[in-house]
Each structure stands twice: as C-alpha cells, then as structure tokens.
Structure 1
Amino acid sequence: MTIKKINYQGWEDSYILSNSQVEAVIVPAIGRIMQFRFPDGENTFWEDSQLYGKVPNKKSEEWNNFGGDKTWPAPQSEWKKMTKISWPPPDTFDSVPVKVEVQKNEITLISEIDPFYGIRFYRQITLEPNEPIMKVTTTFEKVKGDSQQVSVWTITQLNEPVSVFAAIPQPSIFPQGYNKQSDDLPANLKIDNGILSLTRDRDKPHKIGSDASTLLWVGEKTAVRMDSPRIDKVIYPDNNSNSEIYTNYDPKAYVELEFLSPLKTLQVGEKMDLTVTYTLIKTTSENIEEQARKILQR
C-alpha cells in the first residue's frame, strides 16, 4: 500500500492511494474522491474537465459539479427547511475544501461543521491489500444544534456506461422492483430474474430508487461493483430507498450510483455511518448482460 502526494488536474496537495491492483485519487481541495481505476485502465469516475484546478465557490450562482464521489445529507426534500434553499446542496457538504489525515494505509477527509445541520462528516478511504477493492466509510457527527433526523447519502458520478445494473431482492419491497423518482423512467429499463438494467438517456434526466444492496456500472473495459447492505426493519429516505440510480442528459454524460443509510435522529455527540465497498473488474465488450449476471452472482 502506498500513499503519494500529487498535483491532480491542477489541484495541488492531492493524493493517490494505491496497492498492487488499483489506485484511488483523493482531492481535499474539493472534498471528493475523484478517481478509482486500474493503473493502466480507463477512468471510471466522471470528471468535469472544465473545472480542473478550480476551487469551490459557495457564492457562485451556478452549481459547480466537479464529479467524483461525495456525500450529502438526505433526504434532499429537507434542504429547503434546513438551509432556506432547495438547491444547490448545503455548502459544507459540497462547496468547501476539507482537511485531510494521512495514515499508513488510509486517508480520511474531515469537513467543517455545517452551520445548518450542525454536522461534521468524515470519509475514511482504504484499499484492500492486493485486491481491486476500495472501502469508504462516511460518518456524520452531530456537533451542535437541535436534534435532526438525517441519512448519510453517498453519490458516485461515473462516466457514460454501456449499461447500469442493480441486484434486486426477490421479493422486492417495491411491487415493480423499483421506486420511480422522476417524471419518466430511465431508458431501456427492465428487470429480468432479479437484475434491473438501464442505460443513459441523452435528452432527459431520470432517477429511480430501489432496495438493492448491490449496484453495477459497466464501461467499455471496466466494471465497478458497489455494495452497501440494506438493513432490515428500519426506515430509509425517499420512500424507503437505500440505493438510487440517476442518469444525466447531454452534454454532461454521466450517471450516479447512490447509497443511503437508514434515517436516524442525531443528538449532539452522536454519530452515524455508511460503508460502501467498490470493486473494479475487467470486462470485455461481449455479452454485457451475461458478464453482469456473473459479477452479481445472479
């Protein structure tokens, strides 16, 4: 395991965390994990090249979507109540630099205390020795203010996929196997023998929620499997969704694979967390669905 400080796309004091298999790029200046890849492979996480080297500006009238992997507080429907605006996301979670702690085999990002939620977040990033696996544990710590019901929400933006999949429980808590969260359903959405699949619509954004514990992004040469087990007998945000898939429209060709923790009312001094495991897998262009079934063990 090695940790090396680098200048990444114009952001100084960035880091590459690597083992014998994969590498993760972490950029504290924008509070994100910006890349997860094989050293000689394609980038999997989406990045907005027009924002390379720029720093967040919370006073900007336009939301700066840097890409990569980040955390927000859920549910989004509560943002207006908490911050007086429904968009963009709360500044501390999206538009300020974060501190970084570097240890022998892990990197932890540490935010300021959000003035609205009274929460500080931590993101502990590690790689499994000699395996193409990254684990990210996101922790919310209530530091001040009134108690607040909240969920840890992680958002991973990935490049244009060949297809996106979810391993739907059988039976699902949702009659159709998913929870519709946009006016229209995503392109080519189908469920077959416990596997949901869809593609990105170039013209419209779409979003669904689900009770899947495993999501899968498949690119031209690489797949990213993401796991965060659902907990029974608890309540999740967004009509009880613990995972969500969002597809963006052109010209920003990306999709989001998202996980949420159960809702919890945090008192000062309390913490809650969510762990997501990311696994990189090399693929071929032949029979994507067959490869997805093998990866998802369905």
Structure 2
Amino acid sequence: MTAPRIEERGEVLWLDNGLLRLGLAPQLGGRLLSLAVPGGPELLWRNDELLTDGLETRAGHHPHGGRLGDWLNYGGDKTWPAPQGWSGPGEWAGPPDPVLDSGRYQAITAVTGDAVTVTLTSGDDPRTGLRLSRKFVLERGKRGYTLELTARNTADRPVRWALWNVTQLAADGPGHAEVAGPPEVVGLLAGTGFPAWEPAGDRVRVPHQDVVGKLGFPAATGLLTHVGAGGTLTQAFAVAEDAEYPDQGSRVEIWTECPLPTPLAELGDLDPPARIVEIEVLGPLTTLAPGEETGLTIDCTVEAEGAR
C-alpha cells in the first residue's frame, strides 16, 4: 500500500494515499476543493470560473462582505458557524465574510508512516468571537478521511454557536442525497420552493432537482450520503440526542440550487452559478465561555462508482 504523502503546489496542499486524493486551499477559507480517486472523476463541485484545475484563483480576489449575491462561491467543503441570519449578533451574517468564509487559514502539516495530517485554522473573527479549525487526517490504505472540526471562543464574552460543515456537490445529472433516520423533515428556506423528498427504507432521499431551497432533518441519526456520477460520498458523525440544534433542531440540512433567470431579491440577490446540492452536518448549539471550544468529527468515505 502507498504511504500517504503531502505535496505543496503554490498555495494548495495535495494529500494522496494512492486510493484517495484531496486538494486543500488554506488561502480560500480553509476549503477542501478537490476529492477524487486518483484518475477518477471529481466528487465535489467547484466553480471553474473562479478556479483553475490546480485550485488557484483565476483572478485576484479579496476578502469581502456584503449580501449573498456578492458571495464568491468557490465551492468544495467548508465550515461555518450556525445559525445563519442577519437579524442580530446571535446569527452568522454570511457568506460572504472576510474571515471564516473567505479569509486565509494557517496550515500546519504532519507526516508519519501511516497518516498525513493537515490542520487549517482561521483568524479570530470579531463578530462571532470564533476561531475555526479544520483537521484532515488521511491514513494509509483507506479510501476515506477524517475531518475534525473545532470552534474556539477567542472573545472576552460568552458566545453560543453550532459547528456547521457544508459540502457542495454537482447536481446536473442523476443523483440524490440520503439522510439516515426517520422521515422527520422541516422546510427551512424556500427560494423557489422546498425541495421534494421521499422515504427510502430507514432513510430519507432528496433527489437532484431544479429548486432553490433547504430542508432540515431533526431526527437524523448520524449518516449522510450523496450519490452522483462521480461516486458516493458518505459522512458519518455522532449526534447528541438531548442537545439543542439550530434551525428547528436540524442535525442535517440539504440545500439545492439551480441557475435562475434573475437573482433572488429575497435572498440578498443570490444568483446560483450551477446546479448544486449541499449536504450539511451540524453540531449542537453550545455556549462557550472565553477560551472554551466545541468540536465535531466527521468520518468521510468514498465509493468510486456511478450513480445508482
């Protein structure tokens, strides 16, 4: 079996163990922007108008704020604080924002004989009071990786947030997302409508569709899967049964979007660049005293096969 390794190309870090290849962009909000079996198709969606195949920006971009319509959506996998909103300091008013979403993350790498580790850490965000860390671990002989998330309170006041990991995947062909657990589903946001869903045994299935909207899953049991043309990505995580979760108790959220004739004024002029599905894992809402932190671990595995 191939020993895992890290290759640095410009500002991009490539992790490879012979079975799986990850491309990380610390300078773009600590994103994972490429995930594929070597020689196989890309699993994640990324914005080719903004990024080259080498994950470098095509033109100079700068950290910025503004409305959703101003957001430079690079794609990939990233971590934000929840709940999201614009009505007060207890809600994260992004994306965009200049620190947690589009800011530069510090990268620390480590290599052993059996694993490579990259820890990406944000700057201190004055609005939320948070510093986010994303630790990727790729081991020898595994077609998967572990993502360990941490949110630390760097402010001089208590703050209350949940970790929120967002993975964007292409939805321009056959495919679906599946959430393990009973069919308890809440409509969270209807840009053009709420996405359609259907029970599928012990899971809930959300097919690819031309709808801009979001569903929440308060009864999710800790397994979230996307099946698409590039293969199958499964994310496993622990749920805290008695804890409070954001967005009507949602432990998982599914967002779908598609290009529109005109931007959605009611969503800050959001103008979706492509057919995209987001699979989103949330941690519980946690009150953090200054210096305290909360964590969330997601075990990700890949099956390199077509949609089924």
Q: Which of 275, 279, 295 matches 2:301?
A: 279
Matched with 1:64 is: 72
Please tell me whether residue 5 in structure 1 is matched to residue 21 in structure 2: no
Matched with 2:235 is: 226
CA offset digits 1:273-297 (Å, max 9, x no partner): 1111111102245xx2xxxxxxxxx
TM-aligned CA deviation for residue 89 of structure 1: 4.1
Matched with 1:34 is: 33
Contact 2:66 2:96 survives alignment (8 Å): no
Matched with 2:174 is: 162
Contact 2:179 2:205 survives alignment (8 Å): no
- Closer, same or farther in 2 for the Cα pair 1:112/1:221, shift >3 Å? closer
CA distance in 2, matches of 1:103, 1:150: 29
Contact 2:223 2:237 survives alignment (8 Å): yes
Please tell me whether residue 112 in structure 1 is matched to residue 158 in structure 2: no
CA offset digits 1:104-147 (Å, max 9, x no partner): 11001011000112211111011132010111111011112311
- Closer, same or farther in 2 for the Cα pair 1:21/1:100, shift >3 Å? same
1:5 partner letter:
E
TM-aligned CA deviation for residue 165 of structure 1: 3.1
SS in structure 2 at match of 1:93: coil
Q: Which of 253, 274, 279 matches 1:257?
A: 279
Contact 2:208 2:256 survives alignment (8 Å): yes
CA offset digits 1:17-58 (Å, max 9, x no partner): 111210110011102111111011110111111111143431
2:95 partner letter:
P
Contact 2:42 2:230 survives alignment (8 Å): no
Contact 1:167 1:215 survives alignment (8 Å): yes
Q: Which of 43, 66, 88 matches 2:95?
A: 88
Please tell me whether residue 178 in structure 1 is matched to residue 177 in structure 2: no
- State the superposition RMSD in angstroms: 2.0
TM-aligned CA deviation for residue 193 of structure 1: 1.8
Contact 1:132 1:280 survives alignment (8 Å): yes
Q: Which moved more, 1:178-187 or 1:24-33?
A: 178-187
- Closer, same or farther in 2 for the Cα pair 1:263/1:129, shift >3 Å? same
More helix by share: 1
Contact 1:200 1:249 survives alignment (8 Å): no
Contact 1:56 1:64 survives alignment (8 Å): no
Contact 2:105 2:123 survives alignment (8 Å): yes
Counting aligned pairs with the same residue, the percent is 26
SS in structure 1 at match of 2:39: coil
TM-aligned CA deviation for residue 228 of structure 1: 1.4
> How many residue pairs get matched?
273
CA distance in 2, matches of 1:87, 1:137: 22
Q: Which moved more, 1:88-97 or 1:213-222?
A: 88-97
CA distance in 1, matches of 2:35, 2:25: 12
2:19 partner letter:
Q
Matched with 1:198 is: 206
Matched with 1:291 is: none
Please tell me whether residue 55 in structure 1 is matched to residue 24 in structure 2: no
Q: Which moved more, 1:60-69 or 1:145-154?
A: 60-69
Matched with 1:73 is: 81
| Structure 1, unaligned runs of 5 or more | 7-11, 289-298
TM-aligned CA deviation for residue 90 of structure 1: 3.7
Q: Which moved more, 1:210-219 or 1:25-34?
A: 210-219
Contact 2:81 2:164 survives alignment (8 Å): yes
TM-score, structure 1 as length reference? 0.85
Moved over 6 A (4+): none
Matched with 1:136 is: 147
SS in structure 2 at match of 1:106: strand
SS in structure 1 at match of 2:27: helix
